[in-house]
Structure 1
Amino acid sequence: MTSDEFNDVCRALPATTHVVQWGGADVWKVGGKVFAIGGWNGGDAGITFKVTGIAYELLKDRPGLRPAPYLASRGLTWIQHHGRPGLSDAELCDYIRHSYQMVAGSLSGKRRRELGLAETSPAAARRS
């Protein structure tokens, strides 16, 4: 996945913001909370995203994936896609979208409403 493709996937999600920080990384947030980080060092992508505990256990030892530097060392369930074979672009897009949903769903109801994201709440998901 290229940096443009990564940014396009993240940009398409509702109420997201983008900043470049941490040495030139593309950092995507919803409600001020990070859901995806993309860095390109010499053309190699390092794409970091939040996962569930189960997904973390399944992905952390797969070739091309690893516990996300800094984040996972703090006990957080974040994975970094850093090489091949890793994930396909389609799988990577799905994980980025799921990371967004988890982070958006963790925002307060008031904050989700302010952002127009009330439907991302866990209760709303159960009703549909």
Structure 2
Amino acid sequence: MSLFERNGFDKSLSEWPGVTFVDQWDSHVAKVGPKVFAVLGERDNWRLVLKCSEESFEILTALDGIAQAPYFARRKWISISDHSPLEADDLQHYLRRSYELVAAGLTRKLRAELGIDLRP
């Protein structure tokens, strides 16, 4: 199952603590607590939008099929097309990293309520 398909996206991400899904912005959105960490654009040219580190942002946006995400004005949000050179394991890694980056911004109390433990 592909992460660029709703079923694969949901199946993979729903295993993580505190993840919910909503349909908004003509897309399928994954949130950790109240915060967005990934967006699946469901159109002719499928896209995953996610947050990444500064270093990853510079490296990834240099690749074909990956760009700074439109409508996410803050840097470090990227848009990955379904024809990017990233393999499924790499996509899974960057989605997990996005989840961790966004979850780290939640309060300790909310992370505890959601069962999120970010310790290595």
Q: Same fold (TM over 0.5)?
A: yes
For 1:71-90, list aligned pairs within 5 A: 71=72, 74-90=73-89
Larger Rg: 1
1:13-65 Cα shifts (integer Å, max 9, x gaps): 11111100112x110001100010001212x3210111000000001121011
Q: Secondary structure at the match of 1:84?
A: coil
CA distance in 2, matches of 1:110, 1:39: 31
- Unaligned runs of at least 5 residues, structure 1: none
CA distance in 1, matches of 2:14, 2:65: 25
2:39 matched to which residue of 1?
Answer: 37
Q: Which runs of 4+ in 1 moved over 4 A?
A: none
Task: Report how far residue 12 of structure 1 moved.
Answer: 1.5
Q: Secondary structure at the match of 1:41?
A: coil
In the alignment, structure 1 residue 48 sits paired with structure 2 residue 49: yes
Contact residue 65 and residue 82 of structure 1 kept, 8 A: yes
> How many equivalent pairs are there?
117
For 1:85-96, list aligned pairs within 5 A: 85-96=84-95
1:111 matched to which residue of 2?
Answer: 110
1:59 matched to which residue of 2?
Answer: 60
CA distance in 2, matches of 1:101, 1:35: 9
- Unaligned runs of at least 5 residues, structure 2: none
Q: Which amino acid aligns with 1:15?
A: G
2:23 matched to which residue of 1?
Answer: 20
In the alignment, structure 1 residue 99 sits paired with structure 2 residue 98: yes
RMSD over equivalenced CA pairs, Å: 1.4
Q: Which amino acid aligns with 2:17?
A: P
Larger helix fraction of residues: 1
